[in-house]
Amino acid sequence: MRPRLAVLAVPVVVCAALGATAPASARAPLPSAPAADLPGPVEKHFDLSGFDPEPWRPFRSGDTTLPGGTYCSSDLHLHPVEDEEMVRVDSRYPDGSVHINEYKGRLVVDFTNTETGATVRRDLSGQGADELRPDGTSKTFGGVGPFGVGFQPTDAYPAGYYVVDGIHVTTRETSGRRHMPVAIGAEENICRTLG
């Protein structure tokens, strides 16, 4: 079972059958807004104000090559072989720009060291959320794996492109330096796996 960012179902009892004759104590209050349900230590790292999920829509990850020195010493090519990802906006800033995106769905990726040709296939079908700053830069990304996350040599975590499983949260300073304040579960550095 993978917990995910989701709306808590809040049963609301509508006293339609009782009409206006029902006493105030018998009427359930209507919630002012839905609440978010993030797993354990993930929630405290997100600003969930304005949580108002929009409909899910398809999201596709294309082929990409991460240049050597970014995460791995050699170029790392990512090729999705199965991609049924979905994304939805969970909250927006007052100007309409995205505040939090939520992701879910099947994603299987082949990772290739372009120098040696070594390839491994990994399932990245976890569920997570990305909190953005008003300028569109990522502030916090976290979720329940498996999913992928990269760390550069200047980050506050050992450099590499990781496939993580369990509960992980990464934060990014305004300077771009990334941290991982929550790391519960397995971590595989694909750069080391591919040599």
Residues shown for the chain: 195
| Predicted TM-score (pTM) of this structure | 0.78
29-52 residue pLDDT tens: 444 445 666 666 677 788 888 889
List the single range of 1-15, 97-111, 117-131, 163-177 with lowest mean pLDDT: 1-15
Per-residue DSSP letters for 74-140?
A: S-EEEEEEEEEEEEEEEEE-TTS-EEEEEEEEEEEEEEEETTT--EEEEE---EEEEEE-TTS-EEE
Q: Where are the domains of the chain?
A: 40-194
162-187 residue pLDDT tens: 999 999 999 999 999 999 999 999 99
**How much is the pLDDT for 37?**
64
CB-count burial class (<10 Å; 0-12, 13-18, 19+) for 181: middle
